Amino acid sequence: MSTLEIRDLHVSVETKEGPKPILRGVDLTINAGETHAIMGPNGSGKSTLAYSIAGHPKYTITSGTVTLDGEDVLAMTVDERARAGMFLAMQYPVEVPGVSVSNFLRTAKTAIDGEAPALRTWVKDVKGAMENLRMDSSFAERSVNEGFSGGEKKRHEILQMELLKPSIAILDETDSGLDVDALRIVSEGVNRAKESTDVGVLLITHYTRILRYIKPDFVHVFVDGRIAEEGGPELADRLENEGYDRFLTTGAATA
């Protein structure tokens, strides 16, 4: 059972003009088995939150804490974060020419578990997970994300999640660019992981469509670098109907 706690997190990004504050006091607790959805306008800092938790070097934590079961995540290297059970599915997954999907997955699994997976079960697990995600077996021999379509990249992210079995998974717009069938298949993958491992999920999305498949326990509205409102699944429907206007005008008045 894991708990990720984010307390009063402030983060700046390095720009040519100097550090630019993006996150302005984020508070969020994700317990094992819970699904939290974050919705919010473009540029509000959702991906910055995801990258900051994962340890991307471009983002500087200026104050606040992030802990996983009481351990200081911010003091960990990127690999240590992964070994501690954290996983990030990126909004824009990177291409890794020359590294096959199959090699990448086995290397990642070995690094995270501290030992190589038993070959026979591993090959079966990979094959099964790819079949479940309707990925052709030829993907195993292709370079990671190279020439993958947008939807294929997103399936590959969920393939990693199913095989690496994180305790906390951050999914940044995993639904963007998926056709209706792929959305269902990818959502089923996330739900399988939830059922089999009790993973805590932070799901960043612009659309309520995915939330019909992956039911959130909590919905957070992210505006101008912090959480402006929290609620249950009904809040997502309200946002879809009303947009973010009421949050943006309040923000302007207090800025």
Place of tokens 């943006």: 248
Q: From CA 238, how far away is CA 42, in angstroms rounded?
A: 18
- Kindly determine how many residues on this chain lie close enough to bind ligand ATP according to the rule CB under 6 A: 13
Contacts of 105 (CB under 8 A, 6+ apart): 126, 159, 160, 163
Q: Of these partners, ligand ATP, Mg ion, none, which one is at the site of residue 13 (CB under 5 to 8 Å by kind)?
A: ligand ATP
DSSP, collapsed to helix, strand or coil, labels residue 118 as: coil
- The single-letter code of the amino acid at 191 is N
Q: What is the per-residue binding string for ligand ATP in 66-105, x denoting contact by CB under 6 A?
A: -------------------------x--------------
For ligand ATP, give the closer residue by CB, 91 or 100.
91
Instruction: Out of 2, 12, 48, 174, point to the residue binding ligand ATP (CB under 6 A).
Output: 48
Shortest distance in whole angstroms from residue 14 CB to ligand ATP:
7
Nearer to ligand ATP, 91 or 197 (CB): 91
6 binds ligand ATP (CB under 6 A): no
- Partner whose binding site includes residue 48, from ligand ATP, Mg ion, none (CB under 5 to 8 Å by kind): ligand ATP
> Pick from 4, 9, 22, 105: which binds ligand ATP (CB under 6 A)?
22
- Of 5, 13, 146, 240, the one binding ligand ATP (CB under 6 A) is 13
Tell which one of 47, 52, 145, 208 touches Mg ion (CB under 5 A).
47
* Tokens 């969020």 sit on residue: 28
Stretch that binds ligand ATP, among 38-46, 78-86, 161-169, 238-246 (CB under 6 A): 38-46
Distance (Å, rounded) from C-alpha 160 to C-alpha 109?
Answer: 9
- Rounded CA separation 208/108 (Å): 32
Alpha carbon distance 194, 168 (integer Å) = 10
CA–CA distance, 8 with 219 (Å, rounded to integer): 18
Best CA proximity match to 169, nearest among 82, 91, 249: 82
Q: Which residues contact 192 (CB under 8 A, 6 or more apart)?
A: 132, 162
Q: Which tokens belong to 81?
A: 């974060």
Q: Distance between alpha carbon 134 and the CA centroid of its chain, in Å? A: 21
Segment near Mg ion (CB under 5 A); pick from 7-15, 63-71, 85-93, 117-125 = 85-93
Residue 22 interacts with which of ligand ATP, Mg ion, none, CB < 5 to 8 Å by class = ligand ATP
Residue type at position 143? S
**By C-beta, is 48 or 167 nearer to Mg ion?**
48
Interface residues toward Mg ion, by CB under 5 A: 46-47, 91
- Contacts with ligand ATP by CB under 6 A lie at 13, 15, 20, 22, 40, 42-48, 91
